[in-house]
Amino acid sequence: MSTDLPANSIVIIGAGLAGWHVIDAIRAKDKDVPITLITSDNGDRYHKPMLTVAISQNKRVADLVRASGEEAAKAANITLLANTSVTDIEPENKQLQLVSSLRSDPVYTNYATLSYDKLVLAMGARPIFPKSLPEELVWHVNHIERFGELQEQLQGEAQRVAIVGAGMVGTEIAEDLLKAGHRVTLMDINPAPLAQMLPEQATSRIADAIKSQGIEFLGGAQVLDVVKNDEGTLEVSYQLGDEEKSFIADHVIASTGLTVDKLLPTAANIDFDTRTGIKVDAPTLRTTTRDIYAIGDCMSINGVPCRYVAPLRAQAATIADDILGLEHSGYEHKPPMIRLKNKAISVMATGIPTASGNWQVKTETDDELVMELLDNDGKIQANVTIKAPVLA
């Protein structure tokens, strides 16, 4: 079947924070321009960063959802195509090929062709599952539906949970599960948490803090395999130095990074990198294909992915102005403050921190460490402040 929207219609793919922010920004300037939102789920509005701290607070999916997709669509005066996937983009005639996410069998599926005038890609990024972490056995918490399923499994008595990947998300989940009463093993191929972002002098303090809580941290551990045994539990095999070891867990959570699916960017002939995402023009957030924009986790600026919540409102406002033909000063990307949500230690970073580079100590005491990362010209590229928690 064919579905045609009115002229000057805007189509947004993805109903996460980024997609809904674009809708809010457009509606603040134009109450009537036709907007269609396409999402492979039901489109509910929720704040994804809460997923890493919600289990210990006993917040269920219903507590985290601010509005159902249907309610939010009605309030915003948009058309919501929920449980729908985009299978192809045809930029030459500005059309999308759609298919129901609920009915994948082509014999019984209603296909649709949807036209657009302006298209916004807000499809986010998806978790990376290395071969050693079979997706059918391993959890992730990148989406509220999967989070809800994991939360149901963790009800009742304390369970043994292994988390693979000690970046920001993995480290936050580890503390959340510990506070909920579970036994937690946090693993990373690097020697300490946040080791790709911060220098050893900083990460060693983070490692000491989380271990002091009772979290088992296995640094320098390469996961080899996860196998379900006859008892229904999982055997996690890993390499640590020259030794191969294993332990038993009830659940394994992957926090091993994100990647952007190449299907739609490739179809639309957009400059794209699977690791960093869709390349956009920084002031306008336009992609390299006419009348297509990108925002949030799926995009990159100057080769750097933009996977933080704080800049989304400014990004959405720029896209809204550009789409509506309004004058604007252009988006100016400012890396947001990065704040680890763990209570065991306070970690705040600004700029673009990377572990390698010329880090200089500004303050170093038992309770506080302040460091700056200098570029080749001696200018401050990033800084980090780590403080011991204030005990009540």
Question: Nearest CA to 168 among 386, 339, 334?
Answer: 339
Of 254, 273, 288, the position where a domain reaches its end is: 254
> Are residues 108 and 140 located together in one domain of the fold?
no
The domain spanning residue 212 has which CATH number? 3.50.50.60
Contact indicator for 171, 193 with CB cutoff of 8 Å: yes
**How many whole angstroms from its chain centre is CA 341?**
15
- Tell me, yes or no, whether 330 lies in a domain: no
Query: In this structure, are 17 and 103 located in the same domain?
Result: yes
Handedness of CA 24, 26, 27, 29 (dihedral sign): positive
Query: Tokens 């129901």 correspond to what residue?
Result: 100
47 neighbors 6 (Cβ within 8 angstroms): no
Joined tokens for residue 369: 């460490």
Q: Could you tell me the two tokens for 60?
A: 């269920």
Give the rounded percent of residues in the chain with a pLDDT score beyond 70: 95
Rounded to two decimals, the pTM is 0.91
Map tokens 């640094």 to a residue: 219
- Asked if 13 and 117 sit in the same domain, the reply is yes
Q: Decide which of 200, 222, 254 is a domain's last residue.
A: 254
CATH, residue 376:
3.30.390.120
Helix axes 168-179 and 200-213, enclosed angle (nearest 10): 20
CB-count burial class (<10 Å; 0-12, 13-18, 19+) for 96: buried
| 333 found inside a domain | no
Domain-located, residue 392: no
Report the domain count for the chain: 3
pLDDT grade for 103, boundaries at 50, 70 and 90: low
Tell me, yes or no, whether 161 and 243 share the same domain: yes
The better pLDDT of the pair 128, 3 is held by: 128
The last residue of one of the domains, among 238, 254, 270, is: 254
Arithmetic mean of pLDDT, 211-227: 97
> Are both 6 and 118 inside the same structural domain?
yes
In a domain, 316, yes or no: yes
Whether residues 241 and 305 share a domain: the answer is no
Residues 41 and 138 grouped into a single domain: no
Alpha carbon distance 310, 316 (integer Å) = 11
Q: What is the pLDDT of residue 3?
A: 43
What would the pLDDT profile of 240-252 be if each residue is shown by its tens digit?
999 999 999 999 9
Question: Which two tokens mark 276?
Answer: 């960093």
307 shares its domain with 342: no
What residues make up the domain containing 173? Answer: 128-254
Higher pLDDT, 279 or 389: 279
